[in-house]
Amino acid sequence: MEFSKEELTEAKRQIDSTLHKLEETVKTLRAKENPERFKSQITLAERRIHAFKIAARLIEQESASL
């Protein structure tokens, strides 16, 4: 599937925004009084962060080849 440079740029911008929000969510959950209560939410957010970082890197590589 082919994407334009503009589509890739916008996708990367959206991923970066979501990444920032997820990272802030993890910080907030870890700062709670009893962070162990939020272990599953923290794990889920961290896994999503990892997946979004992979996606962002792939978009960067694809953009560089255009």
- Per residue in 19-65, pLDDT (tens digit) is 999 999 999 999 999 999 999 999 999 999 999 999 999 999 999 99
12 dihedral zone (left: phi>0; alpha: psi -120 to 50; beta): alpha
Tell me how many domains the chain contains.
Answer: 1
Q: Which domain holds residue 50?
A: 5-64
Q: What is the pTM of this model?
A: 0.92
Q: Where are the beta strands (DSSP E) in 5-52?
A: none
Contact 49, 22 (CB under 8 A): yes
Q: Record the tokens describing residue 23, joined without a space.
A: 């990272």
What is the pLDDT, as a whole number, of residue 1?
A: 86
Q: Is the pLDDT of residue 2 over 90?
A: yes
